[in-house]
């Protein structure tokens, strides 16, 4: 178990303290995300879902316009940006000041969402691997960047699960190398995501999770995203729809390992986990951000 460590990140010139775990609510403006109930594609559904996430206590809304599940349809940059823009506008109509992250690996899409539509954070599943311009774009925009560990692409990643030196050691080393390069570019606000489910077997996911404490050596905020993923529903021989209880168990364990952000489909249950763990550990007090 790790104590919760406070960090600060700069969001559009305002230094915001992560003094207790934040909840990132998932808003997928897609027709084909792996969890069917997270797919919102018409304007009414998008607005309704955004309103629900915010009402339940989301600190960040993470908007995705391109499903990363294996076998998902290709989406052009133009279509991805159009979807993300719809999501951003829906969220801002409900809560103009809430923090919005953009789930994209494309630098040009991220730049439009940040510069034109005033999103706040870039969440890149590829950790800069799928667009050579991403790190330079982040440095120029001066926005927080979530670096996730993945190998290959969503289509090839599950063939790239060989970690001769151990999954935890190699994931941390690969992330640390990129973080060092980003620091040289002047990128200051970095959040680390171990990338559960991306280029890892189920067994490797659990080994990595059990070693979450080791990620604190990077001295950066830690994001954990395991909501309704295959490491849960395959282990329980069930479906994403029936994986909420397993998700809550792992989210609670992540909090006990000192996680700073939980990326979730189900905000209300994650908020409850944060409150209970805070009361149990006395590491922080829950106050609405």
Q: Work out the burial of residue 95: count CB atoms within 10 Å of its CB; fewer than 13 is exposed, 13-18 middle, 19 or more buried.
A: middle
Q: CB neighbours (10 Å) of residue 149? A: 24
Beta bridge partners of 124: 147
DSSP 142-201: T--EEEE---S-TTTGGG----TT-HHHHHHHHHHHHHHHHHHHT---EEEE--TTSS--
Residues acting as catalytic residues: 229, 263
- Quick check: 22 and 289 in contact, CB under 8 A? yes
Let me know: does 99 contact 121? Beta carbons within 8 Å.
yes
Contact (Cβ atoms closer than 8 angstroms) between residue 46 and residue 83: no
């Amino acid at each position: 178990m790790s104590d919760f460590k406070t960090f600060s990140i700069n969001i559009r010139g305002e230094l915001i303290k992560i003094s207790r775990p934040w909840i990132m609510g998932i808003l997928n403006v897609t027709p084909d995300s792996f969890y069917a109930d997270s797919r919102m594609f018409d304007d009414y559904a998008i607005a309704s879902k955004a309103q629900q996430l915010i009402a339940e206590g989301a600190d960040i809304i993470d908007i995705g316009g391109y499903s990363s599940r294996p076998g998902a349809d290709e989406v052009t940059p133009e279509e991805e940006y159009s979807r993300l823009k719809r999501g951003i506008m829906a969220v801002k109509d409900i809560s103009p000041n809430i923090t919005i992250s953009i789930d994209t690996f494309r630098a040009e899409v991220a730049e439009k969402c940040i510069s034109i539509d005033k999103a706040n954070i870039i969440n890149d599943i590829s950790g800069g691997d799928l667009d050579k311009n991403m790190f330079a774009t982040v440095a120029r925009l001066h926005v927080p960047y979530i670096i996730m560990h993945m190998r290959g692409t969503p289509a090839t990643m599950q063939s790239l699960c060989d970690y001769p030196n151990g999954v935890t050691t190699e994931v941390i080393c690969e992330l640390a190398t990129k973080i060092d390069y980003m620091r040289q570019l002047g990128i200051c606000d970095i959040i680390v995501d171990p990338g559960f489910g991306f280029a890892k077997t189920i067994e490797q996911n659990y080994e990595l999770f059990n070693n979450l404490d080791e990620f604190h050596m990077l001295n950066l905020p830690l994001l954990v995203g395991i909501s309704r993923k295959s490491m849960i529903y395959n282990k329980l021989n069930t479906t994403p729809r029936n994986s909420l209880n397993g998700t809550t168990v792992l989210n609670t364990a992540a909090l006990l390992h000192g996680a700073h952000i939980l990326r979730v489909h189900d905000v209300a249950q994650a908020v409850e986990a944060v409150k209970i763990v805070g009361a149990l550990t006395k590491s922080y007090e829950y106050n609405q951000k």
